[in-house]
Structure 1
Amino acid sequence: MARSSTDSAPDDSTPETPLLPRYRSDSPPADGADEKRARRGGAARVKGAWMDPEDEEDEEDGLGEYRGLRWMQGRRKVGCGVCAVSSARCILAASILALAAVLAALASLVYLRHFRTVYRVYEDPLVPDPREVEGMVGRFPRSLARSASEMEEPVGPLAWRLQAIEDELQARFDGMGLPGMTSLPCAGISVNDTSLTSRYSALRQTGPSEPRQGKTLLALNLYNSEDVLPTLSHALLTVTSFLDPSTVHVSIFENGSTDNTTLALAHLAAALTALGASHTILSDPRKTNWKAVDRIAQLAVYRNVVLAPLERDEDFDDIVFINDVFVCPSDILELIFQRKAQEADAACATDWIANKGWASRLNPDVRFYDSWVSRSLSGETLRRQEDFLATLRKGVNVLFDQPGEERYKARWDKGLPVPVYSCWNGLLALDAQPFTSTSISPRYDLSSSLPSSSRKSWPRDSPIASTEPARFRSALNNPGECAASECKLIAKDFWSRGFDRWLIVPSVRVTYSEPVYSNPSLLSLSSLHPPSPSPTLDAEERIDWPSYTPPEEVVCWAWTPGPHVDFEWARAVWERPYETFAKVLSRG
């Protein structure tokens, strides 16, 4: 058999076939060409030589093993990747389920707590068993007591007696280890001091020929108040002496105190007796189980105890409620004066506390305290409840700073009295009529004898006559009514009867600790428009009531026991401002 031309070696006798070109050993393929052919499954040359068929078979086997190994490695990588993705998805799903379970548990706890709070059946409030405390201590010396003949004399000649009584009371307080009575920087108020006496002269009886209209009830609820009682005693004795003891009744109820409050009140009662002032100073040693009772209902009961003198004598014109605060006599008199001069139904101070905790380190200033009760005529709180950074700003600058309150803010920044919807603020003077009568305000009563100039007021729904005099109350579980503070509810009941002129006096401040009273920010605020010696208001100071508009709705932050966060969407409701049982409105 003839050999193939591709297998035969070239010689001279065999002609070359031009259709079958052959590679020459001196012309090797380009570098890497053999490896490329191997990967493509073709023949390969190494270093310019043709590969033996057996070697080629071995090469094919090696390539097969290589490809199988690579395929297995690829499968492993794919398997690991799929496993990792699946694991991640499982972990993510488990995390989401766990988070959902935690949120569901928290929501359940919040709902159950809310349900227990709103629909909880509380015990009835503790009914006080008050007892007089004056018998616990000895009387003041007879030389200090006001005789019957002196009752007809003007107050002025008896100024020495007040100082002597205070000296005796201070000596008794010293024996108890209590602080001094006159440590505050108070303005001088006495019948022998003409700095502010002329401003408040119309408030007091100057003699039998000029009797004062109506009496004043000074009402206090106290608990563990031995530190502030000396200052309060000075204020009560000075105001009582200035207005005339025969026209003032001091009503104090203390319960459950564990310090020297009860004994200190007994000495104060003896001092008032020596001054010739009527008083009802009571104590109940039993402690209150605050966890078992509705707090607002219980506080309402205690506040109503100090109103008991109204049921024995209806000849009261003013009621002044005083918290356990540091206060000057001039602060009390200024509120009584402002209420009458502004033809208002209530006049409030401003109460302040020092920043505490981390806020005190960043901003050692003061902040307004009674945000829960006070409302502007826009129906909002005086400072935004959700402004958690307000403590980092100057305390006096954050009030009336919400949109739509520019007019109130302008008066506040000048230190002028500001009309509001409600307030308490540790000290307020109220018209006594809603507490002693069921009638509506004379401004809305066509049969009253008020002049037309005093009748001018804002347009609103007709007031609601009541079947009984106003008293403090709780709104818990009242259909359609927010469970607000008893202090805010009394403002609402005043408005319902037409007693709707409420104001805050920036120059009058009270505090819950003595150093805060002299805080530079508060001193600056009080100096913007301090009380003048004039017995009348200046034009800028007077409030033009008809030019203001009452709120259409008022925000209410319901009482929530225990820890909580003040988010409006979670706690606040908006309700009509002057209905005894208001319909809760959704804010539009």
Structure 2
Amino acid sequence: MHPSRGRPMGMLARRRALLALGLAFGVLLVVFVFLPASSAPSATAPTSDAAVPGLEAARAPPALQATLDDLRANFTRVWSAHSAEAPAPIYGGPALTLAQVDRYNHLKRPPPTRAMKIKAGADGHALKPKFMLTTLTRNIGDQLPDLLNAIAVLVAFLGPEHVSFSFVEGPSGDPTPYVLDEVLVPLLHHLGVPPSQIRVETNAPHIDFNNVNRIEKLAELRNKALEPLWADNDLGYLARTPERRRRMVGADVAAVVFFNDVFLHAADILEVLHQHVSAKGSTIGAGITTAWDWMERNPAYFYDVWVARAIDTGDLFYPIDQPSWSPSTDILPTSEYSRARYEALQPFQVYSAWNGLAVLSPTPFLPPFNVRFRRGNPAKGECAASECTLIAADFWKYNWGRVQVVPSVQVAYGRKAAVETALELRKSEERLGWRDGVPPRNRDAMVAWEFGAPPEVRCHPWPEKNGLDANVWEKTEWVKPYIL
């Protein structure tokens, strides 16, 4: 597994052995397009061995379908040159429905940030806002077919001028780097994404986690993936703009989409973006908006249990009261507000989350805040938590603590769990009256930010030692939500 994921390196092996209950801990992350569907009868060609049927109302126009067909052929060619039979996507239909096109149409006009407006005022050039898709990844052969389809649909739908990419991969033992270099990058060029908006780095060097602090190294890797957000190469702007007014860095990024090695559909990313951009109740919007992730589905193991905290209690989404990780049979038992929204597939406010797919506001990463992923400082009374819990704490510190979870977007890491998750979610949507991939109006609720940070947050500290293995569930503390 890639070191960028919030879970320990050893956890993936245990997961594949179906979760030894003495697991160090189940945690966090890290760890992926679409021309509007037309009313023409050109149906998306289903993949014969795909396990999740496409929505009946989803249709890809001929040009997009041709791109998807060529994409599958290119992926198979490159993969087969380096390995055995190429994996198939789990989703039989990567296209959007007309209802989804209508729902997400506003995302074709990403909202300009304050930084963008200042940059435009400084040099007179208007910037086109972009959604920056970011990942750290390794050995994602199973997920690649759906990821490539999702990217093709997203770029075609949003427009190549409104997306940018920062992918860091490696080292992989499967053909992942070849596919990224020989399939993904040419795909982006074909779709019209300028080279200046594409950063795909493959074959990263191996990291010996036995000799580094795990959280510190994960934070460093996440920051590396986000470098384009704050890398400032406009020397002319720097020369003529006083430092107190500089906001050029990342000025064209409307939101960062940071995802793990999960199976993704284009609608997953668009729905989380939709909820992030459309969040009401605050003049400056959401800080972090996430999906919901599963490690296993039957039995159900909520994945990011080490990272996520409820807004009203500061407790875990699935409190663990023994020194091991057990199935998530009782989600959010200590938060009536959160549980009701979760069961209704409606977004709910939280203190922290990551959950396999996270959309982040770029503003806290830029001056004057300069937030970065980091390790905790127990000497100051701070929890030695995941770097993704700490990023939420720092967002709270700078008044960007509007964090929400979108339970209608559920993702998973393994093929079996991903298929089971998608099919279970379809059943829930049908029960709640969803049609063509969108909720009915009476259930299309958004978060109104009604809570401040909880007075204390539950802490399961990572030991101050090198290596990947630790049982964080053996110790429980309660700490302040953030340290000024």
Quick check: TM above 0.5? yes
Where in structure 2 are the equivalents of 1:13-412 lying within 5 Å? Answer: 159=64, 162-163=67-68, 165-176=70-81, 177=84, 179-180=86-87, 182-184=89-91, 188-189=95-96, 193-205=97-109, 214-267=129-182, 268-277=184-193, 278-310=197-229, 311-312=231-232, 313-343=250-280, 344-354=286-296, 364-377=298-311, 378-386=313-321, 391=326, 395=328, 397-402=329-334, 405-412=335-342
Q: Is the contact made by 1:417 and 1:541 (CA closer than 8 Å) also made in structure 2?
A: no
Aligned with residue 557 of structure 1, among 436, 439, 460: 460
User: Aligned-pair distance for 1:532?
Assistant: 6.2
Equivalent-residue separation in structure 2 for 1:400 and 1:238 (angstroms) = 34
Q: Is the contact made by 1:418 and 1:505 (CA closer than 8 Å) also made in structure 2?
A: yes
Q: Which runs of no fewer than 5 residues in structure 2 stay unpaired?
A: 1-59, 111-125, 233-249, 281-285
Q: Is the contact made by 1:231 and 1:327 (CA closer than 8 Å) also made in structure 2?
A: yes
User: Aligned-pair distance for 1:241?
Assistant: 2.0
Closer/same/farther in 2, CA of residues 552 and 336 from structure 1, 3 Å limit: same
When Rg is computed on C-alpha atoms for both structures, the one with the higher figure is 1
The alignment partner of 1:518 has SS state of helix
The alignment partner of 1:264 has SS state of helix
Aligned with residue 422 of structure 1, among 323, 339, 352: 352
The residue number in structure 2 matching 1:488 is 389
Q: Which runs of no fewer than 5 residues in structure 1 stay unpaired?
A: 1-154, 356-363, 439-465, 581-588
The alignment partner of 1:482 has SS state of coil
Equivalent-residue separation in structure 2 for 1:217 and 1:319 (angstroms) = 5
Deviations 1:444-476 (A, max 9, x none): xxxxxxxxxxxxxxxxxxxxxx3xx22111125
Give the root-mean-square deviation of aligned CA atoms. 3.0
The residue number in structure 2 matching 1:504 is 405
Q: Is the contact made by 1:178 and 1:227 (CA closer than 8 Å) also made in structure 2?
A: no
Deviations 1:193-237 (A, max 9, x none): 51310000000159xxxx996210000001222222222222222
Equivalent-residue separation in structure 2 for 1:573 and 1:388 (angstroms) = 14
Equivalent-residue separation in structure 1 for 2:460 and 2:134 (angstroms) = 26
Closer/same/farther in 2, CA of residues 295 and 547 from structure 1, 3 Å limit: closer
Equivalent-residue separation in structure 2 for 1:282 and 1:314 (angstroms) = 22
Q: Aligned pair 1:513/2:414, yes or no?
A: yes
User: Aligned-pair distance for 1:380?
Assistant: 0.4
The residue number in structure 2 matching 1:433 is 363
User: Aligned-pair distance for 1:294?
Assistant: 0.6
The residue number in structure 2 matching 1:11 is none
Equivalent-residue separation in structure 2 for 1:307 and 1:246 (angstroms) = 19
Q: Is the contact made by 1:416 and 1:529 (CA closer than 8 Å) also made in structure 2?
A: no
**Percent identity for Structure 1 against Structure 2:** 29
The alignment partner of 1:308 has SS state of helix
Further displaced range: 176-185 or 276-285: 176-185
Closer/same/farther in 2, CA of residues 247 and 158 from structure 1, 3 Å limit: farther
Equivalent-residue separation in structure 2 for 1:389 and 1:484 (angstroms) = 17
The alignment partner of 2:202 has SS state of strand
Amino acid in the other structure paired with 2:469: G
User: Aligned-pair distance for 1:328?
Assistant: 0.9
User: Aligned-pair distance for 1:274?
Assistant: 1.8
The residue number in structure 2 matching 1:524 is 427
Q: Is the contact made by 2:142 and 2:415 (CA closer than 8 Å) also made in structure 1?
A: no
